Structure 1
């Protein structure tokens, strides 16, 4: 074989080897691009799911609408719904959750006495609505019921509807108050409350942002359970505190004198 032929074959082999190397490199780049696109596709889908969850799973987010204050609200940031005369000498503060069984037990024992003290001008009650059970067990019953209660304040029916919600409270695990139709149905138990404005207020979650703001304030208040009951800022109900309706009357009288 001549040197010329030998050199030509060697050059051909080198070109083929070089071509194969280019092909391997191109294939490697193709696999890399496909892998990157696959990961990006997963991230895009996951991001879409996250957006859907954020948009649909948090009914109480502050982005649901403008911050609107219910009627008869007062206190810091107007987060308390007031029952009673503003000039009453003593203030009872109740942090409560309409899904909370302990709150229902408190209401059954003390609501009659509280109403008597409020109506006589000795006491004003301020109710601060929270969503502790929703936060712990999930669901929207605490939020929806709190919004509905705030809606009832618009027609001066907060006390009556508040008591109806506790008298008909479902088991906390069922989240029945997550059903807005249930909350509207209960309005029929309060004369004059079953109106289109009330139904619209419940349906559109008019006060959801206010409820969320109230709940956030509770979370930073230093209190961690419901009901939390304070008389002029001092805790009077709970473990180690032997409160009775009669003792509540006595404490209110003593606070008024002091």
Structure 2
């Protein structure tokens, strides 16, 4: 019976349309939930991938760093201060010439690129060799790399190493003199070319051997040359050539320049003591 005028309205029971709408809403909600889960899954996978990549990169970086450190250590080890045969003096940085019993000692700090050193050798070479041959004078050579430091390049270092290699072969005096006879302009770093240094060695009988070539190419005495140069840097001397006779600087005073005759007299006086 229909409701009265003052009665409540009867509730309508859900029909097919209501049920269809509810099903669609549930399907839509399920799809949205599925999409949200898929998005979270992709985000998680991407995050894991990033962490993995960073982990690999860190591992590679550590490996490269370790390899680099190992290489640096290896290079430092290979450039250890290996003194040439017969080196003497404090730290074995001296290459001696002449008879050990000679009373007078000439100490020479030289750089094979230094033009002043070339001038000294040109003026005093014959006198020094003559005094050495007579047993009146022994010489102590300190090889330094001051021009490399001032002008750049590696000619001082490479030439000094090659001279040390010649010392290993008992050919230092001849090769030392040959380098000065073929000294390039200090601005032309010709001695940086190890092939050139080896080619010059062909002019010294018996020097250009596989052992000498390897010594030059490997820079076998580079560490020793640097040690010699460091010792010079810590001394009270600041230029090349520096020439001492029995510890006294005899070449610095250009107002009273040294001459071959003066050197002979100084050596003779020292021999009388």
- Return the TM-score normalized by structure 2: 0.71
Contact 1:90–1:255 (CA under 8 A) maintained in structure 2: yes
Contact 1:160–1:190 (CA under 8 A) maintained in structure 2: yes
- Partner of residue 94 from structure 2, selected from 80, 84, 87: 80
Q: Which runs of 5+ in 1 are unaligned?
A: 1-43, 56-60
Within-5 A mapping of 1:40-119: 64-119=78-133
Partner of residue 272, structure 2: 257
Name the SS for the 1:174 alignment partner. coil
Aligned-partner Cα distance in 1 for 2:270–2:234: 27
**Off by >6 Å, runs of 4+ in structure 1:** none
Partner of residue 122, structure 1: 136
Does the C-alpha gap of structure 1 residues 160 and 186 become closer, same or farther in structure 2, counting only changes over 3 Å? Answer: same
Partner of residue 248, structure 1: 263
Contact 1:62–1:212 (CA under 8 A) maintained in structure 2: no
Query: Is the deviation greater in 62-71 or in 221-230?
Result: 62-71
Aligned-partner Cα distance in 2 for 1:137–1:123: 34
Partner of residue 11, structure 1: none
Q: Which runs of 5+ in 2 are unaligned?
A: 1-60
Contact 2:81–2:225 (CA under 8 A) maintained in structure 1: no
Aligned-partner Cα distance in 1 for 2:174–2:82: 22
Contact 1:96–1:103 (CA under 8 A) maintained in structure 2: yes
1:73 Cα deviation (Å)? 1.1
1:64 Cα deviation (Å)? 4.3
**C-alpha root-mean-square deviation of aligned residues, in Å?**
2.0
Aligned-partner Cα distance in 2 for 1:130–1:89: 26
Aligned-partner Cα distance in 1 for 2:152–2:219: 18
Aligned-partner Cα distance in 2 for 1:256–1:174: 41
Q: What is the CA deviation profile of residues 25-45 of structure 1, one whole-angstrom value per residue up to 9, with x for unaligned ones?
A: xxxxxxxxxxxxxxxxxxx9x
Aligned-partner Cα distance in 1 for 2:162–2:189: 15
Within-5 A mapping of 1:130-145: 130-145=144-159
Aligned-partner Cα distance in 1 for 2:160–2:231: 15
> Which protein is bigger by CA-based radius of gyration?
2
Contact 1:103–1:226 (CA under 8 A) maintained in structure 2: yes
Aligned-partner Cα distance in 2 for 1:162–1:175: 17
Aligned-partner Cα distance in 2 for 1:69–1:115: 24
1:63 Cα deviation (Å)? 5.1
Aligned-partner Cα distance in 1 for 2:110–2:161: 13
Aligned-partner Cα distance in 2 for 1:73–1:88: 17
1:211 Cα deviation (Å)? 0.3
Aligned-partner Cα distance in 2 for 1:100–1:248: 22
Aligned-partner Cα distance in 1 for 2:79–2:217: 13
Aligned-partner Cα distance in 2 for 1:76–1:62: 22
Does the C-alpha gap of structure 1 residues 72 and 108 become closer, same or farther in structure 2, counting only changes over 3 Å? Answer: same
User: How many residues align structurally?
Assistant: 204
Confirm or deny that 1:219 pairs with 2:214: no
- Return the TM-score normalized by structure 1: 0.75
Does the C-alpha gap of structure 1 residues 67 and 169 become closer, same or farther in structure 2, counting only changes over 3 Å? Answer: same
